[in-house]
Structure 1
Amino acid sequence: MSALPLRPRVLYVRTEGRSTVPREERRRRELSGATQRRILIEESFGFDLLGASDLAALPGWRGRILRRLPAAVALAFEVARRRGDYDVVVTWAEKYSVAVAGVLLWHRHRPRHLAIMDWMSKPVVRIPLRLVRGGVDEILTWSSTQARVATERLGFRAEQIVRIPHPVDDVFFAPADGARRTIFSAGETQRDFATLMYAVHGLEVPTVIAASLVGVFTGFRTRLVDASSMGELPANVEVRAMDAQELRRAYADAAIVVVPLVAADNNAGISVLLEAMSMGRPVIVTRTAGQHDVVVDGVTGLYVPPGDPAALRDAIRRLFDDPAAAEAMGRRARADVLAHHRADDFVARIREVAGMPAERVEEVRRA
């Protein structure tokens, strides 16, 4: 593949999630500080953007056909059509990365493909990715476990794996005054809220879980379960959904943030961990095969074994009974986020890997 120009042309295939809020409204909310920045961060890459909503604006028969296809497939075909316009394509999310790799594999002259992925081991990704790995030039991942999966099980060379930090909006999730009287937990993937409920049963501490439907991976697919039905609900536990402002307030009010996980090899819980740490809160997290890269045990948080309510209860008591030590741990957690996980540093790293010039990266912090 020929060398990249001084300023490569980069296309970023963006994920838009399940939100029904129009992109411009989400962008307005982010600019106002009402919610954490996602759209503003992806725009700060300085790349051309392509997402499912962009396909809605495509005219003629091509637009009508693409809109009938699954989003990942439609975006992959559109990337293939535009392949001559770009030097680099960046994808984020396994299904998009696999689909784009599959179509690029058939083209001799194609852009360099950088795939940001963090759960390659699950069969619905691992099997097709192994078949189309020739359509991926480099994998960018923050998971040491998944980096090994890429080389040991998928056939990628070590030099094709680039470790990057997982970002967090360290401005939106900044330290704030709060009551510091609750145990707080949140999340929607691979959570073990039943163990948390059992661990806090009988404690005279309010426990708040921000969740509605939780995804539980069953080997080949993910099923959704009601978070409040995952265990017997003690009198001191409240389970409810929260918007971004409520979530930030709940972190601020928490004495401890707990991220209970089922045993798995993906790094489930990383967003909640970093949000809590960014707000200067001490964290307790289940150590799993996939979740062990972020917390420094005893320094920025505590690890507990999977499915062990007694160990979790002991860890909660340890921090709750020594608020000074818990606050010191939270301050170290915030310092770690600023050193390794800032959103603007993440943007700079992605631009660097994509071959963008080493000029000052546009600031993604809110003025």
Structure 2
Amino acid sequence: MLPLVLSSSWRRIIYRGAPLVSPCSPVLFSPPEVMRSSPRSRTSVEQRDPTQLRILTNMAFWQSDTWTSSTRSIYPVENRCDPRFVSPILEAVRLFRRRREFDVVLTMGPRTSLYYGIMCAVAGVESRQIMCEVFLAPPRRHPSWRIKTALYRLAARRSLGILTNSSLEVESVIRRCGISRERVTYVPMHTNIRRPHLEERDEEFVLSAGRTWRDYPLLLEALRRLSVPAVIICGRRDLCRISVPDNVTVLREVNRDLYLDFLGRCRLVALPLLPVERATGQVVVLEAMALGKPVVATRVSGTVDLVVDARTGYLVPPGDAAALAAAIGSLAGAPGQAAEMGRRALERVLAEFTIEKHARRKLDAIMGLYRRRRAAPSRASA
């Protein structure tokens, strides 16, 4: 753990004697004496009816009426489309400037969460922060990783709590951020398919897609053992120096419409992921399930909460090419079994992973963390 000191006189964060924020540097917010909430305003927040919780966020979750009617975003959501997003530092500044009007500030994204939390720490004010998607990069010995981890711990300890996208992330967040279990809540992801339905098209090929922490070399090794055609939709730099077998087509940086067309036509989705603490692959898994496609994936943080093994797809051990090939082959050559698993996957999405279900769960989780803070307010400002 790095020596991290918060100076009470200058409100500086100091690492090994070198100030990261100098008192002579230009600041993005007013001095702590001006911005700190008065005891009167703080009391009014504590005594407010919790059913009327005021939530400020940088999320632009316009797809959910439940969410937009219960929160206030720094982005316009009334247009029902994705806005033009600003940089994480500007998001943090906007949240910081408006924080006193709200009971909770929900920060989405690791950088925005970190910047906002550190702004509040430097200014010496209560953050009222609930963090989503915290820093869970693999450990490294590089000083930058150690500094970032120390800063995240500082922001997390001053926050109301953290929301995770995977049940397996809970223990990692507790250990990495140094907070208690009651301040970490798992909220399942949602599908981005607004109207989940059973896609009737069924062509005999396997689809794999995405960029973050994908183990495409493992997938290619598995596909070399099979004759089934496969399409991989990946990033510009993926699979550039790897020999690709003849039964595999690689497409890079395709638009969403083309990706959804392939997703609707494929027989199954294969998603090999690296065994990291951070949950990845959930977007593709849930979109496939929402169109009635079975998923074959490695058993990691991003898949264990979504895929029911041998019912909506298969989960195989990370790094096991033989097991991955066997699972893919069993569904690629059995359209009836694949279709049945796909129907179960769609039923699971409709029951557990719709947009409105996610919105209600997230609002309930925010309320739970806020109430625990009211019961022990010192934990949020320690």
TM-score range, shorter chain: 0.7 to 0.9
The two structures have a TM-score, normalised by structure 2, of 0.72
Deviation at 1:43, TM superposition (A): 9.0
Q: Relative to 1, partners in 2 of residues 1:349 and 1:202: Cα closer, same or farther, differing over 3 Å? A: closer
Please state whether the residue corresponding to 1:139 is helix, strand or coil: strand
Deviation at 1:354, TM superposition (A): 3.9
Q: Is the 8 A contact 2:286 2:349 kept in 1?
A: yes
Q: Is the 8 A contact 2:88 2:111 kept in 1?
A: yes
Which amino acid in structure 1 is aligned with residue 249 of structure 2? E
Which amino acid in structure 1 is aligned with residue 242 of structure 2? G
Deviations 1:273-322 (A, max 9, x none): 11111111111001235642221211121112222222211111111222
Deviation at 1:173, TM superposition (A): 4.8
2:83 corresponds in structure 1 to: none
1:85 corresponds in structure 2 to: 101
Over the matched positions of the two proteins, sequence identity in percent amounts to: 28
Distance (whole Å) between structure 1 residues aligned to residue 254 and residue 197 of structure 2: 18
Distance (whole Å) between structure 1 residues aligned to residue 282 and residue 302 of structure 2: 10
Matched, 1:117 2:117: no
Please state whether the residue corresponding to 1:352 is helix, strand or coil: helix
Deviation at 1:230, TM superposition (A): 5.4
Which of 45, 59, 67 is 1:14 aligned to? 59
2:229 corresponds in structure 1 to: 206
1:227 corresponds in structure 2 to: 238
Deviations 1:23-59 (A, max 9, x none): xxxxxxxxxxxxxxx643499433222259xxxxxxx
Which of 160, 165, 173 is 1:142 aligned to? 165
Q: Is the 8 A contact 2:293 2:342 kept in 1?
A: yes
Deviation at 1:81, TM superposition (A): 2.1
1:1-367 residue pairs with structure 2 within 5 A?
2-5=46-49, 6-14=51-59, 39-41=62-64, 44-46=67-69, 47-50=71-74, 71-106=87-122, 110=126, 112-117=128-133, 120=136, 122-123=138-139, 124=145, 126-201=149-224, 203-213=226-236, 226-229=237-240, 231-240=242-251, 241-288=253-300, 291-355=303-367
Q: Is the 8 A contact 2:311 2:341 kept in 1?
A: yes
2:36 corresponds in structure 1 to: none
Distance (whole Å) between structure 2 residues aligned to residue 173 and residue 250 of structure 1: 16
Please state whether the residue corresponding to 1:235 is helix, strand or coil: coil
Q: Is the 8 A contact 1:130 1:155 kept in 2?
A: yes
Unaligned runs of 5+ in 2: 1-41, 77-85, 140-144, 369-382
Q: Is the 8 A contact 1:93 1:117 kept in 2?
A: yes
Q: Relative to 1, partners in 2 of residues 1:143 and 1:210: Cα closer, same or farther, differing over 3 Å? A: same
Distance (whole Å) between structure 2 residues aligned to residue 172 and residue 232 of structure 1: 38
Deviation at 1:140, TM superposition (A): 1.0
Deviations 1:124-170 (A, max 9, x none): 45332112223311111121222112223322111111221101134
2:28 corresponds in structure 1 to: none
Q: Is the 8 A contact 2:131 2:163 kept in 1?
A: yes
Distance (whole Å) between structure 1 residues aligned to residue 157 and residue 185 of structure 2: 17
Q: Is the 8 A contact 2:138 2:276 kept in 1?
A: no
Deviation at 1:353, TM superposition (A): 3.5
Deviation at 1:8, TM superposition (A): 2.7
Moved more, 277-286 or 226-235: 226-235
Deviation at 1:106, TM superposition (A): 4.6
Q: Relative to 1, partners in 2 of residues 1:304 and 1:247: Cα closer, same or farther, differing over 3 Å? A: same
Distance (whole Å) between structure 2 residues aligned to residue 258 and residue 264 of structure 1: 18
Moved more, 253-262 or 124-133: 124-133
Deviation at 1:253, TM superposition (A): 1.2
List structure 1 runs of 4+ shifted beyond 6 angstroms. none
Q: Is the 8 A contact 1:281 1:331 kept in 2?
A: yes
Q: Relative to 1, partners in 2 of residues 1:186 and 1:158: Cα closer, same or farther, differing over 3 Å? A: same
Please state whether the residue corresponding to 1:130 is helix, strand or coil: helix
Deviation at 1:120, TM superposition (A): 3.0
Q: Is the 8 A contact 1:119 1:146 kept in 2?
A: no
Please state whether the residue corresponding to 1:266 is helix, strand or coil: coil
Distance (whole Å) between structure 2 residues aligned to residue 92 and residue 4 of structure 1: 25
Q: Is the 8 A contact 1:170 1:338 kept in 2?
A: no
Distance (whole Å) between structure 2 residues aligned to residue 8 and residue 151 of structure 1: 26
Q: Relative to 1, partners in 2 of residues 1:158 and 1:103: Cα closer, same or farther, differing over 3 Å? A: same
Alpha-carbon RMSD across the aligned residues, in angstroms, is 2.8
Matched pairs, number: 307
Which amino acid in structure 2 is aligned with residue 196 of structure 1? L
Which amino acid in structure 1 is aligned with residue 52 of structure 2? R
